[in-house]
Amino acid sequence: MLKESATQETDSGKFLYIHTITEDIYRVMKEKGVTKADLARTMNTSPANITQILNGTRNFTIGKLVDIAQALNSTLTVKVS
């Protein structure tokens, strides 16, 4: 029972981080007038892949996050504290 509770807390923590990151990406896309299709073309990937990333259903790496930031001509700031 204790292990299950810890796993649920970890999963909800992951969800919060993923949600925050994807919301930031959506915000920048909106500010810059970039669609998912535009982002996919710039990153040489499919719109479906971008949708999966932004929906949180595709696990993506820090490298992919950097690629997204570069494709949006944005800065990426990561802080672990």
CA gap 13, 7 in Å, rounded: 10
Domain residue limits, the chain: 2-71
Tell me whether residue 53 is exposed, middle or buried, using C-beta atoms within 10 angstroms of its C-beta: 0 to 12, 13 to 18, 19 or more. buried
pLDDT at 28 over 80: yes
Give the C-alpha distances (Å, rounded to integers) separating 77 from 10, 14, 42, 50: 23, 18, 21, 20
Identify the band that residue 3 occupies on the pLDDT scale cut at 50, 70 and 90.
Answer: low
For residue 6, the model assigns a pLDDT of: 53
Whether domain 2-71 has CATH 1.10.260.40: the reply is: yes
pTM for the full predicted model: 0.81
Start-end of H helices in the chain: 2-32, 36-43, 47-55, 62-71
The string of pLDDT tens digits covering residues 8-23 is 666 778 888 889 999 9
